[in-house]
Amino acid sequence: MLVDVTGTPDFTRQPKIELHIHLDCSLMRSALHRLGDPIGETDFRRIYTAPERCSTLLTYLMAIEPSCAVLQTAPALRIAMEELLRALASDGVIYAEIRFAPHTHQGGGLGLDEVMAAVTDGLAAGMEATGITAGLLLCALRDYTPEQNLPVIDLAHRWRDRGVVGVDLAGDEAGHPAAANRSVFNRAHELGLPVTAHAGEAAGPDSLREVIDLLRPARIGHGVRAIESEDILAEIKARNLHLEICPSSNIQVGVFGAYGDHPVDQLSRRGLSLSINTDARTVAPLSLSLEYRRLAKCFGWRAGEFLAHNLEAVRHAFLPASEKAGLSARLIDGWGARD
């Protein structure tokens, strides 16, 4: 266990926002059951979960392969998305942005639009069943060429009114500079698509500088190694960039040795805009409520911190302003009366 959370509040019933979670890292056992695989909990964890401590981000990414192998058909994609929304709802999440790379789900012969049709069907079914709201972020991948990634940007534009809210750059940043896909994100900006990008996790401040300058994102996935550079911290704050922080995931992939070493509390106290996220709910067996319990136990966070960062998540969500007011009101109602 990363942190012993004995004695901490449960947090399950408090409303939450999740901006950084990957579909292919969050294949629910209930989805496998619906797909005809009656796998038990022990085998599920053995096959689909990464080690509690991975030697590198690449080791962690390799652990996603069994989930990806399942998610190659329209029924699997539809059911996986619906079951993920059910899991989010049971965790108190009221709005989520779920990301995935459509071009990694074509192994069964699906075209990109067929992938999107299956995922958005699952999204709609999940939202109807649970009452929560969610959007999709389509991922370009660092280890893919611009020729492979550009169709994903155009796909996001075509499906923008059918569930897609933005685009992302994901993958192993240590071995694959973002500069190679600069043209891909120039295209995203031309089309008016909101952009987030992974940086500052497996690589240090230089990766953040590259992404900020070349891709011009509104948000940064992880970004935690900004703590290593006062200049980068100042620029992130000056530009009002939002950090999608996933503490347990960062520990799991070996960015920090222990939860108490994670800079999330420092970043919070220095006034950076940030949200708390899981990154994964299967490859790292996690819920947002458990992440909150770890923050409460390790750093003494209470309702005030959690409310503030959830409100920041809403402020930086890729949603119309008209939809943000209602989410903010629900957060204040759910957290405001608590100490």
Residues with catalytic roles: 201
Tell me whether strands 195-199 and 164-170 are parallel, antiparallel or unpaired: parallel
Sign for the CA dihedral angle at 141, 104, 68, 167 comes to positive
* Separation between Cα atoms, residue 159 and residue 153, nearest integer Å: 10
The SS3 assignment for 93 reads strand
Considering Cα of 281, then 284, then 285, then 291, what sign does the dihedral take? negative
Q: Please, which residues have CB within 8 angstroms of residue 316's CB and are 6 or more apart in sequence?
A: 19, 218, 219, 242, 273, 275
Provide CB contacts within 8 A for 233, sequence distance 6+. Answer: 226, 227, 270, 272
Separation of alpha carbons 327 and 338, rounded Å: 18
